[in-house]
Each structure stands twice: as structure tokens, then as C-alpha cells.
Structure 1
Amino acid sequence: MAPAKRKAAVAVESSPTKATLAAKKTAVAAAKKAKAAPADADADDFPTNKEMPSSYDYPPTPEDQWKLVTFNVNSLPAAVKKGFKAYVAAEQPTVLCVQETKVNEPMAFLMDRKSFPHQYWSSPTNGKKGYSGTAVFSKVKPLSVRYGMKPSTMDDEGRVITLEFDDFFLINCYTPNAGDKLVRLPFRQEWDRTMNTYLTSLEATKPVVYTGDLNVAHQRWDLSRPDTNTRSAGFTIEERDGFSAILSTEPPRVDTFRHLYPEEKSARCYTFFSYRFMCRAKKLGWRLDYFVASQQLLPRVVDVRVRSECYGASDHVPLVMWLKKGEVTPATGDEEPKVDGKEGADDSA
């Protein structure tokens, strides 16, 4: 009898009434409206979606501020196909830092040169293809560009790009994951120590903004299930202590989001939701993405926001920081930025 019922259902659907057609039109219109992202998503609304929203509503950035965005895109070519450019066009960051590009060479056609004339790419030099990689897209020409954490040579996976601006360094970093069964934990510990030394060397000249997917949930409230993840990559005591050491310099560096929102413990603070097990819909997430700033920059930090509504392009969502501009001496002439590394050629040419 079941096949007969299915056949009857098809027959009824093939001859819809006017009321049915009207209901379908209403449902389609509602779906389109629902896909448009609000300026700040409701923490109770975390759909699992494989495409980014079709529209966004973000206010323009005040002229006296930088808008810095970090986003692990989990393959830039794939993210572009899912609607990444629509998000960037709406957000209009001053500087966009991207991690896990998974490209083997600069692909300038993926981003609008007019909006971001200064583009910098780094990819693995160890022969790995479609792995890791970082990129920075900037509206402002930097004074210099550096790759890796020199003098250290441990970054052969395209994980670090540093842009020097007039009054701060911006470090875009994709910190190595400790891996399944923590096989890369010793490497990760050495990485954190090396990064700490590198940041200190930069701070001898000017303050730093250290951003990216730093692959650590620092405190228990930075992930949804701390008790069952104490030996999971990203929440081991070794990784958490390594990040604490980066913050606990003298003067200390500041986890800007947690400084502004010390009591936020809901899914609204998570920047990563695994694709497995419907984690986003269940609000099972981690806070892995950061803006860490030298303490002297803290008075200039206006706000830091997790773009929870910008789902679908990646297993991460963007993180945004607004930073007041400092007083700087205007540049003279059209000097090209000093580039340290063969991959640093300004792609605006």
C-alpha cells in the first residue's frame, strides 16, 4: 500500500491549487529574506549552511579607524565560490588577513585589485600542495613586508606574514595544529616559543597586532566542552600555557576580545565549528581566532566582534577589530614597501 500512497501524493502535487501556489511563493520569499544576514546574528540562530548569506548589513567604518579582519577560509578558491567576495564587499576591511588559503602561488584574480591594491601571499616551500598558506589584502600600502619569523627558519608552510605600518606591525598567523594524537605537539610548543621571541623583537621598534587562527582555546569558557577535550589539539595544557606565555610578557599583550567581553561564554564567542556532527547547529564550538595587541595599543581598540552570521564559507567565521588611527607623519613620494622574501612582491603591479 505504501507505493500507492506515494503515487497519490505525486498526483496531488502535480495539480496544485491557487492556495498551494501562493503558499509556495510565500515560502520562497521567506527563505530569501532569511538568507540575508543581519548586522549581528542572534546567538540562538546558528544554522548549518554550506553557502554564505547572500547579503549583509554592516555600517561604514569611521574615517578615524582601521577595520582589521581575520578569517580562516579553509581554501580561498572554495570560499570564493561560496560567496566570500560578497562578504568582503559588505565588510570593507582596511586590511583582510586570511589563513588556510590552500593555494600554491599568488592568485590575485581571486580578490579585487581596486579594493585591495596591496596583496601579499605566502605558501609552503616544503613541497606540500594545497596545504596551509596565508594572504593579506590591504587598502593601505605597508612600509615593509616580512615572511616567516626570521631569523628562525621553522616556517616553511607559509604561515606568517608581517606588514609594517606607520605605528604598528600587523602579524597574520596560521598557527600549526598539534594534530591527531598530538603528533605535532612538540613542534607546536617550539612554534609558540619562537613566535613569542619574534613578537618581542618587533615590539622593540613599535607595537604589534598579532592575529589569525592561533589554534588554541585559551580558557575553559573558550570552547563548549572543555572537560572532554583536555587532550585534544587546541586545548592541551601545553598549548594553553604557550599562549599564556605570549600574553604574559612585560608589558603584557592583550587578548582584545576577552578584554572587552570577559563574561561572554555563549556560542557567540566561538569562531570555529567543526563540519562533523552538526556542531554549528548544536553550538559546539571553539574560540580559536584572535586579535592580540601590545598593551600600548589597547586605548585605541574600539571593539572586536565575531561575525557569527557569516557562516558557510568555512568551518571558521570572521573576527573583526576596529582600531583608532594614531597620529603619524604623512608619507612622502611613492616608495614601494621593503619586502623581505621572494613571495612578498606587491601584487598591485
Structure 2
Amino acid sequence: MPLKRASSSKRKIPVSDDEGSIPPESMKTAKKAKLAQSSVLEPDAQPTNTVLPVNISFPLRIPNTLRFSSWNVCGLATSQKKGFKFYVEAEDPDILVLTETKVNNEPVDPSLSNRFPHRFWSISEKKGYSGIAVLSKQKPLSVDKTIPGHPNPSVVKGRIITLEFENHFFIATYVPNAGANLKTLDVKNEWNKHFTTYIRDLDKRKPIIWAGDLNVAPTELDLTNARRNWNKTPGYTEAETTAFKNILQPRDETADESSSKSEQFIDVWRRLHPSLQHYTYFSYRFNCRMKNLGWRLDMFVLSQRITDKVKMCEIRSDIYGASDHCPITMEYDGPL
């Protein structure tokens, strides 16, 4: 059953760090995506609400699984005013990743502290910009907010949190945007270089669960009007897509079979939905949501050797109105 829509109202449109992802040339009529899930709204019936409904429900989680969720909230304070807590209550994840929080201090929110005893925030040096949080019901062994070897800590701050558990590393990222006119592509390339080394090194110790807003559309299926955007728009350039491919499938052809396999990663949602065009981000500009002009930027990426433990991974398309992104949720069979 589709969610009940809250009534629309005029509001000031917030500015998202991802606003550079869709140029004016991409605002022309888009081909409507094929959304093949019963829980997904058809492109011509996209929601127009500007706050979330109070009553939200999802299918019961698969028994004995952990539920993880990642959501770019486009400003936590704004999202909280538009029904953020109703989604969290309905989803009730074991770990919740929040990206683009834009907080300047660690929030005091009883609804979060009561649900998640372990809360970790990484806040940008620039006020009201970027920011990431990982809220967990389980206590990690350790927490790190750096990328070893990265020469500019200010770029990393507010962008990554790694939790180490007994059996896994859980990495949450809000990857930098390459910027309007690709003006910060060099910053993105540097991030990708050091992050790739980092995730591969951790994977040698324990399998990885990587979640967040990765700010890349890996293939032409992952955005509207791919040809018009290629090498012109942040998130869909040769440099960015190649860097992501190199994480999934390392280029080292000299590695033996066992080491090569251990270093491979899987884009979980795409593995489960190989031909679907389904997006997590719709710019507030140009009625993108109504026209189904979107990008798939929010993902779960796992070490290949643990992907058989994934029992569900879905984009929560109905959760729209509190952010310009939709959450993505995964259910995982096995202790952290």
C-alpha cells in the first residue's frame, strides 16, 4: 500500500551539497524509468509531499537479520522538522548512517539517544556543510574518522566514520562532490586514491560493509540522461566511475586468484536489481522528483565474500519530503 501523503506547503528550498549533480541541460524531458517493485511509485505518480507522513510502515524484517539504513538528510535540523523521526521509528535499523547532516555540534535528540546507545558524529570544519553520523545499537570495538595517508585532514573531516566490530569493518562515507563545472574533481580524485588504499587494507583484516552517499553514478542505468552528463557533471565522469570500478574489481592482474577474490567488492543493490533504473537523489530544482530526473548515489558496497549474507536491499522511494534523497536499507544475516 502506498504511504499516505501529507499535504504540500510552500517552503524555502534548502541547498544540498549534491545540487551540482544535475546541470540545466539535463532538465529536458527524461525517459521514464522502469520501476519494477510493487512498493515503488510509478514515475508519473511521484509524491509531492514536503513532509513525511506520521504513519509509516515497512515489511517486517527477515528473521535473524540485522537492518542497516543510510540516508542523506540534506541537513538534519531541517529534516527533523519534516518528519525525520517518523522514518527512523518505522525503519528501526540496527545501524543508521546519516550523511550531509550539516550540524555544527553533536545534536541532543532523545529520540536518537534512546534508540541508539552508540552515536558517532564527524563534523566539518566549515559550518553548516557536509557532516556524517553513524548511530548504532551495538557497541563497536573501535572508531576511526580518518583516511590514513590523506594529506588534507580538513577534506576528510565530516566525510567518513569507520566502526570496527568483531567480524566486520563498517565504513560510512559522504564522499566529496566533484563540484559544479568539475571544479573540485582533483579533490575527489585524491579522496578516491587514498580511500581505495584504505578500504583494501581493511579488507585484508576483516570483511567490509560500506554505506553512505558515494556521490557517483556507477553506470548509465544510475542516472537520467547519461549521455548528456558524461564527463560534464559531477558524479558521472570517467575519473569517478573508473575509480569506483577499481574498488569493485581491482586492476592488479598479477595478483593470484585467492587474493584477487578477497579484494573484490559488490554494489549490493545493483547486484540484486541488475536492470532497474531506480534513484536515491532528486534535485529540488526543476521539479526533478515529479519528472523522475534522478541519480542513484546512495549505496551499500560489501566485500564479495560476505554478499551471500545479504537478504534484502531496497531503496525507500516513498520516504520523500524530508530530504532530496531517499534512504536505502539492507538486511544482513550474521553478527557484526
Q: Does the Cα contact within 8 Å between 1:101 and 1:133 map onto a contact in 2?
A: yes
User: Would the alpha carbon gap of residues 228 and 76 (structure 1) be closer, same or farther in structure 2, given more than 3 Å must change?
Assistant: same
Structure 2 counterparts to residues 119-268 of structure 1, below 5 A = 119-125=119-125, 128-156=126-154, 157-230=157-230, 231-249=232-250, 250-251=260-261, 252-265=264-277
Q: 1:43 is matched with which residue?
A: 42
Q: Provide the alpha-carbon RMSD of the alignment.
A: 1.9
Offset at residue 245 of structure 1 (A): 1.0
Partner of 1:149, secondary structure, is coil
Shift of 1:228: 1.1
Give the residue type in structure 1 aligned to 2:238.
I
Match of 1:343 in 2: none
Distance 2:4 2:192 in 1: 44
Count of aligned pairs: 290
| Corresponding position of 1:320 | 329
- Aligned residue for 2:152, secondary structure, equals coil
Partner residue in 2 for 1:104: 104
Seen in structure 2, the aligned counterparts of structure 1 residues 311 and 33 have a Cα distance that, compared at 3 Å, is: closer
The one-letter code of the counterpart of 1:146 is: D
| Structure 1: gaps of 5 or more residues | 1-31, 329-349
Closer/same/farther in 2, CA of residues 184 and 116 from structure 1, 3 Å limit: same
Deviations 1:218-268 (A, max 9, x none): 101111111111111111111111111111133210000111110112xxx
1:132 alignment partner, SS class: coil
2: CA distance, partners of 1:39 / 1:106: 38
CA deviation string 1:88-123 (max 9, x = no partner): 000000100010000112113264212111100001
1:143 and 1:322 map into 2 onto residues whose CA distance is: 22
- Offset of residue 39 of structure 1: 8.9
Counterparts of 1:211 and 1:259, CA distance in 2: 15
Question: Is the contact between residue 177 and residue 188 of structure 2 (CA under 8 Å) also seen in structure 1?
Answer: yes
Please identify, of 162-171 and 41-50, the stretch whose mean Cα deviation from structure 2 is larger.
Answer: 41-50
Counterpart of 1:345 in structure 2 is none
Q: Give the structure-2-normalised TM-score.
A: 0.82
Q: Does 1:83 align with 2:50?
A: no
Q: CA deviation at 1:174?
A: 0.3
Q: Contact (CA 8 Å) 1:96, 1:137: kept in 2 or not? A: yes
- Retained in 1: the 8 A contact 2:169–2:209? yes
Alignment match of 2:281 (pick from 260, 272, 282): 272
**1:66-103 C-alpha deviation (Å, 9 max, x unpaired):** 10100000101110110000100000001000100001
Q: Which residue of 2 aligns with 1:10?
A: none
Maintained 8 Å contact 2:143/2:161: yes
Measured after TM superposition, the shift of residue 48 of structure 1 is: 2.9
Give how far 1:173 is off.
0.2
CA distance in 2, matches of 1:80, 1:153: 35
TM-score between both structures, scaled by the size of structure 1: 0.79
In 2 relative to 1, CA 189–111 (structure 1 residues): closer, same or farther, beyond 3 Å? farther
| Local SS of the residue matching 1:170 | strand
Change in Cα spacing, 1:233 to 1:279, as seen in structure 2 (3 Å) is same
* C-alpha contact (below 8 Å) 1:148/1:158 kept by paired residues: no
- Secondary structure of 2:312's aligned partner: strand
Q: Does the 8 A contact of 1:53 with 1:311 survive in 2? A: no
2:24 is aligned to none
Counterpart in the other structure of 2:310: 301
Match of 2:118 in 1: 118
Structure 2: gaps spanning 5 or more residues: 8-36, 251-259
Are the equivalent residues in 2 in contact too, given 1:48–1:278 (CA < 8 A)?
no
Distance 1:291 1:112 in 2: 22
Distance (Å, rounded) in 2 between the aligned partners of 1:257 and 1:108: 33
Secondary structure of the 1:304 match is: strand
1:233 is paired with a residue whose SS is coil
- Return the letter of the residue paired with 1:279: C
Letter in 1 for 2:61: T
User: Computing the radius of gyration over CA atoms, which structure comes out larger, 1 or 2?
Assistant: 1
Q: Which amino acid aligns with 2:323?
A: S
CA deviations 1:41-77 (Å, max 9, x no partner) are 3234212332122221113334411101000001011
Q: Tell me how far apart the structure 1 counterparts of residues 229 and 326 of structure 2 sit (CA, whole Å).
A: 21
State the one-letter code of the partner of 2:328: L
**How many angstroms apart in 2 are the aligned matches of 1:236 and 1:111?**
40
Deviation per CA, 1:12-52: give whole Å up to 9, x if none.
Answer: xxxxxxxxxxxxxxxxxxxx94449x992323421233212
Identity %: 41
